[in-house]
Amino acid sequence: MSAHFDLLKTDTHTAARRGRLRTRHGVVETPIFMPVGTQGTVKALTPAHLKEIGSQIILGNTYHLNLRPGSERVRALGGLHRFMGWDGPILTDSGGFQVFSLAKLREVREDGIAFQSHLDGANLFLGPREVMQIQANLGSDIAMVIDECPPWPCEREVCARAVERSLRWAGQCRDIARDSGFLAAGHHVFGIVQGSTFDDLRREAAEGLAALDLPGYAVGGVSVGEPEPEMLKQVGAATPFMPADKPRYTMGLGTPPQMLKMIALGVDMFDCVLPSRVARNGLVFTPEGPLNLRNERHKDDPSPISAEVVNYTTSFSRAYLRHLVIAEEMLAGTLLTLHNLHFYLDLMRQAREHIEAGNYFAWHRSWVERYEVGAAERLRKA
Amino acid sequence: MSAHFDLLKTDTHTAARRGRLRTRHGVVETPIFMPVGTQGTVKALTPAHLKEIGSQIILGNTYHLNLRPGSERVRALGGLHRFMGWDGPILTDSGGFQVFSLAKLREVREDGIAFQSHLDGANLFLGPREVMQIQANLGSDIAMVIDECPPWPCEREVCARAVERSLRWAGQCRDIARDSGFLAAGHHVFGIVQGSTFDDLRREAAEGLAALDLPGYAVGGVSVGEPEPEMLKQVGAATPFMPADKPRYTMGLGTPPQMLKMIALGVDMFDCVLPSRVARNGLVFTPEGPLNLRNERHKDDPSPISAEVVNYTTSFSRAYLRHLVIAEEMLAGTLLTLHNLHFYLDLMRQAREHIEAGNYFAWHRSWVERYEVGAAERLRKA
């Protein structure tokens, strides 16, 4: 058992775990979903909204915050928590993934990644020293190491080099965090398991990282275009080799059924822009699958999004919410984001309860089935 | 004294009044500002936010709501209060003003106004019967009569005809509201004083409307392009002839100093999109004039928008709010709108207190002076 992570229970029929992660800004009950606050705000919501829907920990994006407003500025203003008015735990990514998805003219070098800002084309560089300094400036409770995220599909040779390089960078990040006192001050640093679709490389990465004795581990390089079964296979190939006494996190995932399936594989933490992004386009989650509020058939519907889900947004009618979406009112973005994030957070609460009750396997199977049957039915009607 | 309006105090040095207006959905303490909820939402805010900042009554726009989602639909869904989740009083305008400012191909006829929807070009018509029916469908606590709003500048002849027509329409609206039981059910109908820049026409309109014994009266056709002194002159020309025992409302106004000056002329109610609209562009109000958060000099500023104004938004730094504006985050619109509307509502609270304390004249003069000196100073620095 690590000092900062209590593994409270492991499920008997699946690899699902009930845990408790301690951070400088409080305790996180796992499994947990982390709303994404890319630019120092979880889009469309106030920190008060985040508390209201039961958020325990949120995510900040190093790549974005370092470009604007700049991590030195955030530091001078008291750190990211104070800057954005969120006093709970914050996990920040290392920025590496955004370099691959957003930046221009990137070049992976042995010592890090050179790239141009997508905002103004400025020449920038992120290596182990840079990402650890930026995350220290932000005051992250959980900092991620910098890694190289290979594309999908990917040559084995290319992937093996990325795994090797990522492992070396992870060691450098750990050393910097140790020598600077970052770890001793109670900040956590998580390693990231790469390896694309190669099970042996995933294992090699996981074992190599485990040897670094980091406070937690993530699976990276998933959901980069591969089909869902492949994605789950990759997670399943990595988790058995990730230390059981440390929290496990899959980055950038997923749909509600995907999260439940990954919990069954032993994953504890998730983050994803999906619920926020689709909310801003009028799509909301229900236990019977997603619902597109743009659909004409909601025009006169006095019923809530879901009779089973209780949050501020479900106090309004589908007809009203549809009106806001069609009229392109900002309030649509706020209310639908609030609902979707609450839906994700509440799903994690249910997962925790069912792991505790010892019936996670049956519950998650029937939950996923109801969701997928409902989704298919709605597609048929649309 | 009317049954629905208590004139609690009239100032001795100005015409300012402290009043209390009873509606079907609760009491309104005047002077008061009404946040504008054009399309069934006060842009960027939830109803919970509106309560949080002390909103007593909000405004809905008949023109917009009738086009989308349609007043019959709102009625079927339980009325506007239920539709938008606001259980306090709602005033709706008659839609006439928006026909003049938004609709295409309008034609003023003796029986009403024919026009084309700005959304889809549909041919529509608003006369006394239509506007009263729509506002009954919405369930307005305060319905406005339909009027003809002459442009500025305007020929005397044209204006006189508009006044005459508006007076006739007001009488018809009153009769419809009486005969349909709308008034007996406790809904109020307010008349609108037109007359452009012609003092005698303003007086004629005010006296003609007073004879209809309506529950309240508004000054319309102000802030349609005329300079501020002219606008205040028009309000000052109308108010002395508007019944003292009924609430008085100037439509679509104004800046903070303008509202304080109009209170001194005996006005009780205001509505204006200005605080919301400028908020969405990064401008916030302070006791020392407006502040443009886009300005570079706020980049590193840890101080709040104003140390004197306490609301959720002033718990954040100028640097953070500027970051949200520059990054075009939705939260900027929410937080700045919340601040500006709170600023307006709190200014009205202060006005009420100073009328009660008997020092309104001195207070409003020094408040306006500080605001205007500060605004000039900020312009000089920018």
Cβ atoms of B64 and B38 within 8 Å: the answer is yes
- Please tell me the distance in Å from A272's CA to the nearest CA on chain B: 18
- CB count, 10 Å around CB of B151? 14
pLDDT at residue B103, rounded to an integer: 81
pLDDT (0 to 100) of residue A102: 86
User: Is B193 an interface residue toward A (CB < 8 Å)?
Assistant: no
Beta-carbon separation of A331 and B46 below 8 A: yes
Residue matched to tokens 């020293």: A129
- Is the Cβ pair A41, B329 closer than 8 Å? yes
Taking the CA of residue A85 and the nearest CA in chain B, the distance in Å comes to 7
CA distance A333 to chain B (A): 8
Chain A residue numbers touching B39 (CB-CB < 8 A): 323-324, 327, 329
Among residues B90, B97, B84, B102, which one has the least CA distance to residue B40?
B84
Could you tell me which chain B residue has the CA closest to the CA of A67?
A: B327
C-alpha neighbours within 13 Å on the C-beta side of residue B287? 15
A361: left (phi over 0), alpha (psi -120 to 50) or beta: alpha
Tell me which of B93, B147, B268, B346 is the catalytic residue.
Answer: B93
Contact map slice: B 40-79 vs A, CB within 8 A: 40-41, 43-46, 48, 68-69, 73, 76-78
Q: Which of A320, A336, A341 to mutate to test the interface with B (most CBs of B within 10 A)?
A: A320
Considering the entire predicted model, what is its pTM? 0.97
Residue B1 has pLDDT above 60, yes or no: no
List the single residue in A69, A317, A327 with the smallest CB-CB distance to B39: A327
**Among candidates A39, A312, A331 on the partner chain, residue whose Cβ is nearest the Cβ of B41:** A331
Q: Is the pLDDT of residue B176 over 90?
A: yes
Nearest residue in A to B320, CA atom: A83
Chain B hits for A48, CB-CB cut-off 8 Å, are 312
Chains A & B: contacts with CB separation below 8 Å: 103
Q: Is B377 on the interface with A (CB under 8 A)?
A: no
pLDDT of residue B203: 97
pLDDT tens, position by position, B180-212: 999 999 999 999 999 999 999 999 999 999 999
Longest Cα–Cα distance of chain B, Å, equals: 62
B374 CB within 8 Å of a chain A CB? no
pLDDT tens, chain A, 382 aa long: 568 999 999 999 999 999 999 999 999 999 999 999 999 999 999 999 999 999 999 999 999 999 999 999 999 999 999 999 999 999 999 988 888 888 878 899 999 999 999 999 999 999 999 999 999 999 999 999 999 998 899 999 999 999 999 999 999 999 999 999 999 999 999 999 999 999 999 999 999 999 999 999 999 999 899 999 999 999 999 999 999 999 999 999 999 999 999 999 999 999 999 999 999 999 999 999 999 999 999 999 999 999 999 999 999 999 999 999 999 999 999 999 999 999 999 999 999 999 999 999 999 999 999 999 999 999 888 7
Interface test with A, best of B331, B337, B338 (most A CBs within 10 A): B331
Predicted local confidence at residue A240, as pLDDT = 97
At residue B105 the predicted structure's pLDDT band, cuts being 50, 70 and 90, is confident
pLDDT tens track for B289-304: 999 999 999 999 999 9
Is the CB of residue A180 less than 8 Å away from at least one CB of chain B?
A: no
Does A77 sit within 8 Å of B319, measured CB to CB? yes
What's the gap in Å between the CA of B50 and the closest CA on chain A? 13
**Run of H or E residues at B33:** strand B32-34
Q: Concatenated DSSP letters for A238-254?
A: HGGGS-TTS-EEETTB-
E-strand stretches of chain A: 5-10, 17-23, 26-30, 32-34, 36-37, 58-60, 90-92, 104-109, 112-116, 123-126, 142-144, 188-193, 216-219, 248-250, 269-271, 283-284, 291-292
What are the strands, taking DSSP E only, across B41-141?
A: 58-60, 90-92, 104-109, 112-116, 123-126
DSSP annotation of A142: E
How many Å apart are CA B200 and CA B196, to the nearest integer?
Answer: 10
